Amino acid sequence: MRLEGKSAIVTGAGSGIGKATACRFAAEGATVICAELNRDSNEATVAEIRAAGGRAEAVETDVTRDEDVANLMARSFSAVERVDILINNAGQAVIGTVEEVSSDDWDRQLDVNLKSIYRLSKAIWPHFKTRGGGIILNTASIAGLTGIPGQVSYGVSKAGAVMITKCMALDGAKDNIRVNCVCPGWIPTPMVDYHLSQLDDPEAFQTRIERLHPLGLGEAAHIAAGFVFLASDEARWITGIALPIDGGLTCGIAAD
């Protein structure tokens, strides 16, 4: 097992990529602290991990609240001797152009998707420095690498996730703190289901999206596999990258 003896905090662990990552990390031997705003879905993830023989704890967390992040850190350090890995995965999608997105939705989008990375990384940074290093992994998106119509606030938040990854990687290198992010393509998750529900013709959009991925649509497990690699000793000389895991979408224009 590639993460035996390690411990990890995973935010947004109640569904989608976060759940797949929490379950995969536990299967690889890590103790997982599952952080999620939805208590029921978070506890369901922990129950699934434990039923499979893994080790996990649930901490109800709103990543936009400093007090919740402080509680998460305190509960994590109480549950395990040390935290080795932080995965900033919590996120949401606001659909709309700059004309359509409200000021409140804009602020909420950036708070959940981007400022939470700052908030949790800042909270754990002294712990990593004290123990001689650590790993921070962020969920960005292909929307942070290329513009997508109707996703202005989401795209900006994910572009910010890419850049904060690079800046923190430079800042953390001297203390052996590695920071990387993954940029998923179109992965079927509850957040994507919500996106589709907001469209006039979701079936046509789904068909178009499928054609943009040369290898077809992926699964949350594919993203979890990328996180496992970046968290493993095999990636010990990798920091500051934005890794597309997108079935070839960002290669260029796919053939029909």
Positions marked active-site: 154
Q: Give kind and range of the element (H or E) at residue 155.
A: helix 152-172
Helix (H) or strand (E) holding 60: strand 55-60
Q: Rounded distance, CA 43 to CA 238, Å?
A: 33
What is d(CA 228, CA 193) in angstroms, rounded to the nearest whole number?
25
Nearest to 177 by CA among 139, 140, 129, 130: 129
Nearby residues of 73 by Cβ (< 8 Å), 6 or more positions away: 123, 124, 127
H or E, element range at 179: strand 177-184
Q: Which of 224, 182, 245, 226 is nearest to 45 (CA)?
A: 224
Instruction: Provide the token pair at 24.
Output: 């995969």
